[in-house]
A and B are shown apart, each in its own frame.
Chain A
C-alpha cells in the first residue's frame, strides 16, 4: 500500500487534562502523525485546554503526567506551542510577563509555551493542510 503524501497539521486542544481525554488523544495523534512522516506545525491551547500548559500540575506519581509528557514531546520535535491569551488569563495561566502585569504571585507558564492571541491559531491553520480540534468529548 502506498503511503499518503505528507500532510502538515495544526492541533487545537480545548479539553483540560484530568477532566477530559483531549490532551491524551491529541498526543497519541501527534506521535502517530510524526511517525508516519507527517508534520505538526503548531499546538494551540484554547479554552480549558490551556490547563495543559501549567507547570504547577502535580498529578500522583502512578498517573500519567500529561503536562510533562506534552512538554517533552513539543520540545523534542521543536513544535511551536501557544496558549490563547484570553483563555489563559481567565483561568490563571500566566507567564512571567503577564504575572507582573497583573501583580500576581507566581507564573505557571514557561517555554516551550508562549502566550499569544488567536492570530497564531489562524496563521498556523492557513499554513497547514488541516487543523484538528481535540475537544472534551474526544
Chain B
C-alpha cells in the first residue's frame, strides 16, 4: 500500500448541482480517516466561497456551514483559483475560511496521488 494524497476538486456552483456536496463528503471522509486531503475550488466552484449566501431563499441548506467544518475535519488546505475568483467577481471571499489563493493551479495536481472530480 503506498501513501496516498487526495485533492478534491469542486468546479460547480453550490446550489445548482449536488456533486460539490458529494465531493465534500468524500473529502471529509478521507480526512476523518487520517488521509492527507485538500480541496480545490475552481471555475464556478469558487461561488462556494461567497460570503453572505442566502440558501433559505432557494429552500436549501447552507454550504458555508459545511465548509467551515473543513479544518475541524483535518483537511490540509483549501485552495482557490485566482483566475476563477476574478472571473466571477469575487473580490473578498468568505473571511471565515482559511484559503490558499493560487495564481496558477497547473502544478497543484502533481502533488497528489488521487485527484477526485465528479
CB within 8 Å of B: which residues of A? Answer: 14, 46-47, 86-87, 117-119, 121-122, 125-127, 131, 133, 135
Contacts and interface: CB of A to CB of B under 8 A. Distances in A.
Contacts of B66: none
A106 to B, nearest CB: 24
A119 B118 contact: no
Interface residues of B, number: 15
B33 A119 contact: yes
Interface stretch (B19-27, B67-75, B99-107): B19-27
A125 B4 contact: yes
Contacts of B26: 46, 118, 121
Nearest to A47: B22
Given A46-B22, A47-B118, A117-B29, 7 more contacts: A86-B25, A119-B29, A121-B29, A122-B29, A125-B114, A126-B4, A126-B35
Interface in B76-118: 114, 116-118
B13 interface: no
Interface string B17-54: 01100100110011001010000000000000000000
Please classify the interface of chain A as helix (H, G, I), strand (E, B), loop, or mixed, using the class held by over half of its residues.
helix
Contact of B117 (A47, A125, A135): A135
Contacts of B57: none
A64 B43 CA distance: 36
A14 B4 contact: no
A14 B29 contact: no
Contact of A122 (B19, B30, B117, B118): B30
Contacts of A46: 22, 26, 118
B1 interface: yes
A119 B30 CA distance: 8
A87 B1 CA distance: 28
